Structures are given as structure tokens and as C-alpha cells.
Structure 1
Amino acid sequence: MATRRTLRALTQATSFLFTNPKPSLRSLPLPPFPNSNTSSPIFSNSTPPSALAQCSHLRYFSSDKNDDHSSDEDDSEEEEEDGDEVEYEDTDDVPVSSGKKVYTLEEKEAEAAAIGYRVVGPLQKDDDVFKPHEPVFAVVQVGSHQFKVSNGDSIFTERLKFCEVNDKLILDKVLLLGSATQTIVGRPIVPDAAIHAVVEEHALDAKVIIFKKKRRKNYRRTKGHRQELTKLRITDIQGIEKPQNVLTKKPSKAAKKEQEKVAVTA
């Protein structure tokens, strides 16, 4: 019974298709537009104005590199009519910035004084700055660090600007002076005190590893750093009376024996 019903449905459908063919889309009636008096923009033969024509700034949509704007042409025409020639300055005299700040002499002196030193000049061959050791010490501040120095000592400070190797320096921030007989404490600096030094080399400190980690966050950062240093050799300390080194001679063995004999006989 089910098969007979399906066959009947199929035969009825095929007979309906053959008797009523599918109408074409062109023959379908179009509904009238609400404003029948106005012509539809879809079926009108006139092309609609483009979006580029409505925009006043065409230079942003122009793909031609040789397009000149009307305003530029008008300006150029006015300049030609006036007959005034545009003079361009020479760019050869203008210094090209290399990315580094250019310091003047006054700025160099001011920044060096803020750190605590003054550049005197290069070391000459005739200069006799290296003197024998003297029993005097001083506490000097260079930048944010303090050093206890004596004549002939060498210290490593952070990289000092505006000085090269074999330059003579004067360290002004002297906090304390001392010797075997007296001690001078500054408040905070000792007046009329100075420490002379010579730049021996600019070097790099040992590498320091900076490792950061946040557990359970998958965060790890490893960086290395080498601090730039300047090696200074202390040549002289001024501002305190320096006692003279008196060398005491040791008595010889024969003199000791004679002294012992005299003591025994007495």
C-alpha cells in the first residue's frame, strides 16, 4: 500500500511539471515602487556619482605620483608672476646630529665638579708627579662612592666623563685628612684640600648576571652587565702637614754584643 501511494505521488508531480513549465524570471511582474513618479536609481541609465567625486580631498585616493594639486599649481604660478626667487640655505654648514649630546666647556666643567673632580690637562714626560710614599691618608668622594687613599694608591671608580688616559685630575671633595700627628675632619668638605691623581686606564668590571623569576608564571629573564670603570693613581695629597719619614738604623750585631758585655760587667 505504501509503495502504491508513493508511485501515485510521483506520477502526479511529474504530470504537473510537464503541464505547467517553470516560468522565467523575466516574465515575473515587478512590484511598483512607493514613489512611482521618481525614476528608480537601479534601472536608470545614468551612472551614479562616484564616492571619489564627492570627496574634496582627492590626493589621499590618487594612485598617480605625478598628480599635482590645484592649490600647489596656483601657488607656483603666483611665485612665477611675482618673479621672486626662493633662496635656500646651504646645508653644508649645518652640523649633523650624531645622536650624542654636544657639551660646551662650561657644561663639562660643571658636570665634572658635580661628580667631584677637575681635569687639569694631559700628563707630560717632564712632569714628576709620582713621589715617594708619604705617611698621610685621606677620604675622598667621587660620585656617590667614598675611598680611603694614600699617596701611590690606585682606585677604581665609575667611568669618568671628559677625561682620557694620562690626564691629570684634581679631586676636590675631600672629607677627611689624617696623618700620624693630626686629623682634619671636613664639614662636610675640608677647605683648601685637594688630591691629585692620574688616569691610568678605562676598563670593564667583571660580568654580573641578573636573573629574575616568578614562580608558576612562566617568567624568567636573564641579563648580563659589565660596569665601566676608570683606574686612578693617587700622586699627591695636599692640605695637611706631612711629617718627614725618619729612617732609624738598626744596630749591628757587633754593637749589640758590646752592649751586652758592658751590661754583664757592670
Structure 2
Amino acid sequence: MGGANRRWMNILIRRAQSLLLPSSKSQTLSQISRLSLLNSSQSELISSTTDQIRRNFTSSISFPRNFSTYHSRGSSSRRGGVVDANDGDEYDVDDDVVDEDECEEVSDDEDDDDNVVASDSGVKREYSVEEKAKEAAAIGYKVVGPVDRSERPFKPYEPVFAVVQIGSHQFKVSNGDCIYTERLKFCEVNDKLILNRVLLLGTANQTIIGRPTLPDAAVYAVVEEHALDAKVIIFKKKRRKNYRRTKGHRQELTRLRIIDIQGIEKPEKTTVGKAEKASVKKPQKASSKRPEKVPVAA
């Protein structure tokens, strides 16, 4: 224990013993040590009070520890001991007291950190069904639900195309096409969507243009994947200012597979067969054999 703390403890013990003794005058330690002249009850009372004062005094003091990351001058490298900078005496720290204080400080810090993280990141907002449908409609789609295998959503190619708007982008799609859009909310993989913001429909025979959209048209799609786009490097520099910043970004994407387009008459499939070539017989060529020479008798 340090010299200053020891002196304060001795002063407190002297004052307590002076109050408990019958004489009102304060006595020195040499006079107080003569407890044999007192009664047994008085000596026991004095010893118990002095022990109680010593315990209360030591428990009320919390001594700092020197951690491995920081060592002050004159600190001891031994575990469980601290050297007083005044007189160089080493004393043992009450582990229970210090550990409780440190635990309380750590818990308070952790609570503060948790509160800060919660306030910074923010709690995820819980959307109602109506809010989800409203936000999805503002982007340009509607979530129907997961696709059932019995539906057989994937159909063969049909000669129909449509121009749909999803968010701020427009896509020309046909049955069976695959497109990448920005990450769509409130939908998971294998969900069926209705793209209801159709700007144009067309076939080989007719074209229907919306003003700006076609209310009766719809394009059906299935969510195949939520993925990340390739990394884009963003580099900023200001010359002669010692300013350079390099950042990377990967855009979140959703892959959609178009399964059906509705709102226009689909032409029937016509198989164009090759015209059968009429078999023309080639005329037989006349034989160009020379007549045989007949020998003539002389």
C-alpha cells in the first residue's frame, strides 16, 4: 500500500480509537497499544472497529491497473501488483473490487456502443402489405407469389414483343428473354411478377402504342437470381492539391426471365415449308456415235 494511503488509514484509526476510549484526550499510538489496561469488552470493540474501518477504507479505494498496451514510468511488470510512484512500495490490488469496477465500465461502454450502432444503422422498417404493394407499383411491378411447378410457366417462343418500364429503365422483351434490373424489393428467388407498366406491344402484323402505358397489357416474369454487378472503380484526383480518392462499387441486380406477354392477339405459328421442286426429266441426248466404216471391195 502507498505511503499516503497508509498515513490516512493510521489517522482514521487514531481518531476512531480516541472516540471509543473513556478519556476525551487524543492519545498516541504508543498509548493506544496498551490495551491490556482496558476491559476485554472494550479491547474487542476497539479491534473490531479498527478492522471494519480498514476494510471499508480499502474497499472504497480503487487502484488503476497498468495494462500491457501502456506502461507508465515506475510501473511493475508483475501481475497483480502495482508500485507506488512516491515511495516505490508494491501492494496487491483487490481483484474483486477492480474487476467489478472494470466490468461495470465495460458494460456501460458496450451499452453505449449498442445504442450508437442502433441509431446509426437504424432498425429495419416493417412494411405492411399495402405499403409493399404501393412501393412495388411505383417501381412498375406486382408480386404474385412463388411459382408452382404444375403451372409450367415457361412456354415456347412466340413472335410478340413488348417495351416495359421498370424503375427508370426501359426494356424490349420477348417470351423467354432474360433481363437484368436494379435490385427489386419485396421479392425472392422463384417469385412470379407482373410488369404492369407496358409502353408498347407489337407483332409482325400490328403495333399498339400506349399513352403513356397500356392498361390492359401485362408482362409476366420470374425472379431467377439476386446478384452483384461487376466492380466499378471510382477514382478522383485534384492536381497540385494532394487529393486522391479511390473507391469501388458493385451494383445489386435482379435477373428476370420473361415467361408470357398478354394484351395483344398472337399470330398463329405458320410453318413455311420448302416448295417441292417438280421433277423434270432431262431429254435424252442423241447418240453421237459415228457410223462404222464398211470395207469396199476393189
Common fold, TM-score beyond 0.5? yes
Do structure 1's residue 107 and structure 2's residue 107 form an aligned pair?
no
* Residue 246 of structure 1, aligned match among 270, 274, 279: 270
Q: Distance in 1 between matches of 2:146 and 2:187?
A: 9
Do structure 1's residue 168 and structure 2's residue 187 form an aligned pair?
no
* 2:177 equivalent in structure 1: 153
Do structure 1's residue 198 and structure 2's residue 222 form an aligned pair?
yes
Cα drift, residue 132 of structure 1: 0.7
Q: Distance in 2 between matches of 1:111 and 1:262?
A: 73
Q: Distance in 2 between matches of 1:155 and 1:263?
A: 56
* 2:159 equivalent in structure 1: 135
Question: What code does the residue aligned with 2:164 have?
Answer: V
Between 1:97-106 and 1:174-183, the stretch displaced more is: 97-106
Matches within 5 A, 1:1-266: 99-251=123-275, 255-256=276-277, 259=278, 261=280
- Distance verdict in 2 for CA 1:154–1:262, change over 3 Å: same
Question: What code does the residue aligned with 2:280 have?
Answer: K
Q: Distance in 1 between matches of 2:270 and 2:283?
A: 32
TM-score of the superposed pair, with normalisation by structure 1: 0.59
Q: Distance in 2 between matches of 1:248 and 1:105?
A: 50
Question: What code does the residue aligned with 1:210 have?
Answer: I
Q: Distance in 2 between matches of 1:264 and 1:150?
A: 53
- Distance verdict in 2 for CA 1:200–1:184, change over 3 Å: same
Gap regions ≥5 residues in structure 2: 1-59, 61-117, 285-298
- 3-state DSSP class of the match of 1:126? helix
- Distance verdict in 2 for CA 1:108–1:215, change over 3 Å: same
Q: Distance in 1 between matches of 2:209 and 2:154?
A: 26
Equivalent residue pairs, number: 166
Cα drift, residue 250 of structure 1: 2.3
Where in structure 1 do 4 or more consecutive aligned residues deviate above 6 Å?
Answer: 262-265
Q: Per-residue CA shift, 1:169-197, capped at 9, x if unaligned?
A: 00000000000110000000012000000
Q: Distance in 1 between matches of 2:166 and 2:273?
A: 40
Q: Which has the higher helix share?
A: 2
Q: Distance in 2 between matches of 1:123 and 1:220?
A: 49
Q: Distance in 2 between matches of 1:190 and 1:124?
A: 28
Question: What code does the residue aligned with 1:106 have?
Answer: E
* 2:26 equivalent in structure 1: none
Question: What code does the residue aligned with 1:215 have?
Answer: R
- Distance verdict in 2 for CA 1:200–1:263, change over 3 Å: farther
Q: Distance in 1 between matches of 2:267 and 2:152?
A: 21
Q: Distance in 1 between matches of 2:198 and 2:279?
A: 51
Q: Per-residue CA shift, 1:119-144, capped at 9, x if unaligned?
A: 00101121111111000000000000
Between 1:133-142 and 1:240-249, the stretch displaced more is: 240-249
Cα drift, residue 261 of structure 1: 1.2
Cα drift, residue 114 of structure 1: 0.1
Cα drift, residue 260 of structure 1: 5.3
Cα drift, residue 162 of structure 1: 0.2
Larger RCO: 1 or 2 (CA < 8 Å, sep 6+): 1
Q: Distance in 2 between matches of 1:142 and 1:148?
A: 11
Gap regions ≥5 residues in structure 1: 1-63, 65-95
Percentage of matched positions with identical amino acids? 71
TM-score of the superposed pair, with normalisation by structure 2: 0.53
Q: Distance in 2 between matches of 1:136 and 1:151?
A: 7
Q: Distance in 2 between matches of 1:126 and 1:117?
A: 23
